[in-house]
Amino acid sequence: MPDFHPDFIAGFIINMASILILVLFCYYQFSRNRAHSASFILFGMGVFIITALLHKTDISMGFAFGLFAVFSMLRYRTESISVKEMTYLFLVIAISLLNAVSGLGPVELIVIDAIIIALAFLLETNIFMEKLNERVIQYEIIENIRPENIQNLKNDIKDRTGWDIKRVDILHVDFLKDCATIKVKFKPSLNGYEETSPITPESYTR
């Protein structure tokens, strides 16, 4: 039966509270991805338990980050995840390693975790940078991709989708089919509704 030191109990509580706040109030609040949220929480808990228990065998911080590298390679190789998910995965593992093997007191750990969480939350809001959704769509009115007609392009897409278009990038032009592949960046809807189905040229035919 392992002897759980009070420092281990305190670190575990701080770690779980920090990860729960980071995932639920920063990531899930803005992404609404339940599967990744649950994975982040479980991943953070597992990393903390393993590194905290192995730390008693004189494992260095360098070895702990070696474990982090192993966890990163083992993680989700069957599914590619976005840069945002990778960033939160890194934060979860970094917080767990910090709480497990840093040797800092509870107050220092809480302060550092709080700074990380606060920064993540602020960057998810529009305080520092405007948050924009983006979609890659097929567009069939080829004359609207001309530089002088970009405003017409934005207005046309806005009329059809209701999106508040902020930027349009032309990715590919197919003159044989008279259509273009474009990336549209737009402000998220206030009611939280977000179009997720792909938009095809057929759906844009007048």
Instruction: Walk along the chain (206 residues) and give the pLDDT tens digit of each residue.
Output: 445 677 788 889 999 999 999 999 999 888 878 888 998 999 899 889 888 877 666 555 666 666 666 656 655 555 667 788 888 989 998 999 899 888 888 999 999 999 999 999 998 887 777 778 888 999 998 888 888 888 999 999 999 988 889 889 999 998 888 899 999 988 876 554 444 444 443 443 33
SS3 133: strand
Q: What's the token pair of residue 144? A: 């609207």
pLDDT number for residue 164: 87
DSSP secondary-structure letter at 136? E
Residue 181 contacts residue 138 (beta carbons within 8 Å): yes
CA distances from 187 to 14, 42, 60, 113 (A): 36, 32, 46, 30
Q: What's the token pair of residue 185? A: 């960046």
DSSP secondary-structure letter at 143? G
Measure CA of the first residue to CA of the last residue in the chain; give whole Å: 71
Beta bridge partners of 134: 185
Class of domain 133-204: alpha beta
Residue 151: what are its φ and ψ, rounded to 5°? -65, -40
CB atoms within 10 A of CB 52: 23
Q: What is the pLDDT of residues 54-77, one digit of tens each?
A: 766 655 566 666 666 665 665 555
Residue 141 contacts residue 45 (beta carbons within 8 Å): no
- Kindly list the domain boundaries of the chain, sorted by start residue: 6-124, 133-204
